[in-house]
Amino acid sequence: MLTIDADAHVIENESTWDYMLESERQFRPKVVAATGGKDPFDYWLVDGHLIPRSNVGRDLPVEAREMTDLSLRIKHMDELGIDIQVIYPTFFITPLSRRPDIDLALCRSYNRWMAEIVKTTPDRFRWVLVPPLQSTEHISEELRFGKENGACGVYLRGLEAERMLSDPYFFSLYEQASELDLAICIHSANGAFTTHDFYADDPGFCKFKLTVIGAFHSLVFHAIPQRFPKLRIGIIEVSSQWIPYAVHDLARRFARRGKPFPKQPLKDNRIYVTCQTDDDLDHVLRYAGDDNLVIGTDYGHADNAAEIEALRKLKDDGKIGSAVINRILSDNPRALFGL
């Protein structure tokens, strides 16, 4: 049985941007550090915005978290009992620029950097590509590039391009992702300046987690999965403990509109959610079903969701039956990511 870490990360470094075109080099992010004060971390400077480089699991060797030495990372994965990691970015957790040309340059370079990193180890690493959502004419090229180079999903944040993910703006993306068999992976993150900046001092619950839960609700409420019947959707790094609440709310709204609500809403909508080991899984599974939870370690990070032993702990905890555990660790992520 292949054990799949459905949410692991890479920490970008200066070489991430080596793939920018000559004309794009002016947009290259720069690492900067405060000359005074006590910040233990530095920043990316991109388009006049400072992005803290604070969410870093410093207990991991830098070569492992930045994927400059894959053998080190793989050795650690073997120790943790992980066969495959699906890699997400770190840099793209917040909105970065309102300029389409900068957004395109960043996405393209990141995608090529990731493709280069994992090309020698497709059996251990897959990745989620970042689409240039402000330049819709370039999305197709990036999706195809990603698919041809080991990507198994498309990275989205809870809000993108100042829009909700149920907006028709994204329909072409969903159509193309469906055709290329790429999952849409909505990660704990926010791509909209308005709400992100409003919650400037929020540690992530409001600006990231609730944003993604809202996205789940919007997509189901507006029947986006029905519109794209081959589309698979991942809800990543927001735990699964909220599922009963969202399902209750949706059920009420559907009932008020005289619309039937599925008995297995996640299954019927092809939505998969990463759980955490502290979730009340016996309760959550009544709503999520056995076939739609996955789990990740948040490898590389040091935030609320980070639990490097998550997969092993799930196996060992004994809180739920072994058949369901195996589905969470293997069958379900294989279904989500098309592995």
Partner 1 sequence: MLTIDADAHVIECEKTWDYLEGDDRKYRPVSISVDMPTGRTRNFWIIGGRLIGGRDNVGADTSKESREMANIDSRLKHMDEIGTAVQVLYPTLFLRPVTDNPPIELALCRSYNRWMADIWSKAKDRLRWAAQLPLLTMEKALDELRWSQGNGACAVFVRGIETHHTLHDPYFFPLYEEASRLDMPIGIHSGIGNFQVNEALGGEPFRVAKLMVIGGFHSMILNGIPERFPKLRIGAIEVAAQWVPYLVHDLNLRFPKLAGKEARPQVLSGSNQLYVACQTDDDLPYVLKYAGDNSLMIGSDYGHADNASELLALKRLKEKGDIDPKVIDKILFANPARFYGLD
Is the four-CA dihedral 164, 227, 272, 180 of positive or negative sign?
negative
> For partner 1, which is the closer residue by CB, 144 or 222?
222
By CB under 8 A, what part of segment 199-228 binds partner 1? 199, 201-203, 205-206, 209-210, 213-214, 217-218, 221
Q: Does 63 bind partner 1 (CB under 8 A)?
A: no
Closest to partner 1 by CB, 25 vs 41, is 41
256 contacts partner 1 (rule: CB under 8 A): yes
DSSP element (H, E) containing 179: helix 171-179
**Which range binds partner 1 by CB under 8 A, 40-48, 124-132, 143-151, 193-201?**
193-201
Minimum CB separation from partner 1 for residue 158, in Å? 10
C-beta neighbour count of 103 within 10 angstroms: 25
How far is residue 72 from each of residues 60, 75, 196, measured CA to CA in Å?
A: 10, 5, 35
HSE-CB of 100 using CA atoms within 13 angstroms: 7
The backbone torsions φ and ψ at residue 62, rounded to the nearest 5 degrees and listed phi first, read -60, -35
Q: Does 320 bind partner 1 (CB under 8 A)?
A: no
Under the binding rule (CB under 8 A), the answer on residue 137 touching partner 1 is no
Closer residue to partner 1, CB minimum distance, 126 or 187: 187
Least CB distance from residue 257 to partner 1, whole Å? 10
Cβ neighbours of residue 309 closer than 8 Å, sequence gap 6 or more: 80, 297
Residue number with CB closer to partner 1 (155 or 208): 208
Query: Which parts of 207-331 fold into alpha helices (H)?
Result: 210-221, 224-227, 243-256, 265-269, 281-288, 310-317, 322-326
What single-letter amino acid sits at 63?
E
Cα→Cα distances 76→156, 245, 267, Å = 28, 36, 33
Please count the residues of this chain forming the interface with partner 1, following the rule CB under 8 A. 37
180 or 206: whose CB is closer to partner 1? Answer: 206
CA atoms of 1 and 15, how far apart (whole Å):
35
Q: How far is the CB of 162 from partner 1 (least distance, A)?
A: 6
140 binds partner 1 (CB under 8 A): no
40/229 with CB nearer partner 1: 40
3 state DSSP class of 1: coil
The footprint of partner 1 (CB under 8 A) covers: 159, 162, 164, 192, 194-195, 198-199, 201-203, 205-206, 209-210, 213-214, 217-218, 221, 239, 241-242, 244-245, 248-249, 251-253, 256, 278-280, 283, 304-305
